[in-house]
Amino acid sequence: MRIIIAGAGDVGTHLAKMLSGENQDITLMDESQERLGSLDSNFDLLTLESSPTSIRDLREAEADKADLFVAVTPDESRNIVACQLAHSLGAQKTLARIDNYEFLMPKYREFFASIGVDSLIYPEMLAAKDIVDGMRQSWIRQWWEFADGALVMIGVKLRENAEILNVPLYTLGTDLSYHIVAIVRDDQTYIPGGSDIIEAGDLVYFMAKKKDIPLIRRIAGKQELPDIRDVIIMGGSRIAVRAAQLMSDSCNVKIIERDLARCHRLTEALSSRIMVINGDGRDPSLLVSEGIDHTEAFIALTDSSETNILACVAAKRFGVAKTIAEVENIDYITMAEKLDVGAVINKKKIAASHIYQMMLDADVSNVKCLTFASAEVAEFIVKHGARVTKGYVKDLNLPKGATIGGLIRDNEGLLVSGSTQIMEGDHVVVFCLDGMIRKLERYFN
């Protein structure tokens, strides 16, 4: 696919790096040479020092031949103009990053399509949604859906109280309603076989149908959290506003913001049930007086990643069950996950992976890849006469380091065991270590 990304900000750069590893033709446009930096000598992509709203520069970038045009500069109206120009020049699909909730309303979708903007993305909104989802199912670290939710894959960190620790996996039985596809231990990803065991502290990826998720929760030894009633949000950013609005009415939300002028603006933007407090969220006495000890969730959304991480660690000490920290510095994320911070959100990653997902949905080829935890999930459509259709799964001799997670047949999710027969036309979800995809392709074509 030929993809043009306009704007080498955080989201654009992250997206470009991600896609360049996927054998896509990436062109990254930005007016500032500083922001483009030495990207093109470190990643397989083309950088152009040019303006995304200049017709000549868009021609130079071959916008007319682009399959996808993504405008992610900080300015929403510029993004929309760039998309319109690219669309008129002949780009197949356009996507603009926006900052305006109104634009996202479904009734305007047709309108935007008619002016040449096919999709809109609002990163703050996505981050807020992620926070609210995370509050609902707080024990799940990662969540991927296949075929509109027919199958899900979830990542769960197992602690000492899990039921399936320290026994070889084959003793769990053969006809399970879940499938363990990967284990991440000490930054290493393993594809487990029958004789492997799970240890406390492992991040385990399960593949299951949606209805079986409560069962996984039980064997993982996770408690259903009590309903969250009291929430403290530190930092009155745009994400905070969106998250506060998305939370159900039964929640008592308090937003602590240091800047008084911003507090006033927050009160204008939010409904009266949300309390805005002017103060420093790092001040324990303020937190105690606002009732941190009976708060169920603490969300740190200030501009400073360090502050957010430390504030969440502190909140855990106060006994808050669920903490979420916004960490914009990508290098800090793994470190933050090792500390007892709870969930971590990153606006750039959310936005980039959302765009990525949208792109995959548009892709007509039969391989879809999602990359994370140094492993790949691919969805193959089984072609006529493919090698996988020639016998039961256990007789296929799949390469080591790959496992078939499940398959989708007639929009119905199925888990795969040794005695499953794969048929032509199935969508097979495969989990494998980095770089195995090419080897696996042979089995499905």
Partner 1 sequence: MIHIRVIYRILSVLLAIEAGVLLLCSIIPLVTSEPDMFAFMASALITGCCAMLLSTFGKKGNRHDGISRRDGYVVVTLSWALFSFFGCLPFYISRFVPEFTNAFFETISGFTTTGASVISNVEILPHGLLFWRSLTQWFGGLGIVFFTVAVLPVFGIGDVRLFAAEAIGPTHGKLHPRISVSGRWILTVYAILTIACTIALKLVGMGFFDSINHALCTIATGGYSTRNASIGAFHSVAIENVITVFTFLSGINFSLLFFMLFKGRIGKMFYDTEFRSYFILTMSVAIIIAAVITASTGNGLWKSLHLSMFQVISLVTTTGFVTNDVYNWPAPVYMILSVMMCLGACAGSTTGGMKGARSIILFRALHNEFYRILHPNAVLPIRINHKVIPDSTRQTVFTFTICYVGLIATSWIIYMITGMNMSDAFYASTAIVSNTGTAVGSFDAANSFDTTLSWDVLSFAAKWYTCLLMLVCRLEIFAALLIFSPSFWKHL
* Interface residue list for partner 1 (CB under 8 A): 2, 21, 23, 25-27, 33-34, 40-46, 49, 434-435
Distances (CA, A) of 30 to 4, 34, 215: 11, 9, 49
Closest distance to partner 1 from the beta carbon of 435 (Å):
5
Is the CB of residue 299 less than 8 Å from the CB of residue 243? yes
Closest distance to partner 1 from the beta carbon of 88 (Å):
22
Picking from 71, 74, 111, the residue whose alpha carbon sits closest to that of residue 94 is: 71
> Phi/psi of residue 378, each to 5°?
-125, 145
Which residue number, 57 or 426, has a Cβ lying nearer to partner 1? 57
Which residue number, 60 or 133, has a Cβ lying nearer to partner 1? 60
Which residue number, 29 or 292, has a Cβ lying nearer to partner 1? 29
Which residue number, 221 or 399, has a Cβ lying nearer to partner 1? 399
Closest distance to partner 1 from the beta carbon of 215 (Å):
35
Closest distance to partner 1 from the beta carbon of 368 (Å):
20
Closest distance to partner 1 from the beta carbon of 18 (Å):
12
The radius of gyration of the chain from alpha carbons, rounded to an integer in Å, stands at 23
Which residue number, 63 or 140, has a Cβ lying nearer to partner 1? 63
254 bridge partner residues: 232, 275
| Triad 42, 353, 138: Cα angle to 5° | 130
Which residue number, 21 or 221, has a Cβ lying nearer to partner 1? 21
Which residue number, 12 or 116, has a Cβ lying nearer to partner 1? 12
Closest distance to partner 1 from the beta carbon of 374 (Å):
9
* b/e map 39-66, b = 16+ CB within 10 Å: bbeebebbbbebbbbeeebbeebbbeeb
* b/e map 25-34, b = 16+ CB within 10 Å: bbbbbbbeee
Distances (CA, A) of 375 to 144, 287, 336: 14, 41, 21
2 bridge partner residues: 25
Closest distance to partner 1 from the beta carbon of 24 (Å):
8
Tokens of residue 150, six digits: 């027919």
Picking from 132, 339, 381, the residue whose alpha carbon sits closest to that of residue 253 is: 132
Is the CB of residue 350 less than 8 Å from the CB of residue 130? yes
Closest distance to partner 1 from the beta carbon of 50 (Å):
9
Q: How many CA atoms lie within 13 A of 372 on its CB side?
A: 19
> Phi/psi of residue 94, each to 5°?
-125, 150
Which residue number, 45 or 320, has a Cβ lying nearer to partner 1? 45
Closest distance to partner 1 from the beta carbon of 375 (Å):
11
Which residue number, 355 or 407, has a Cβ lying nearer to partner 1? 355
**SS3 annotation, 275-307:** EEEECCCCCHHHHHHCCHHHCCEEEECCCCHHH
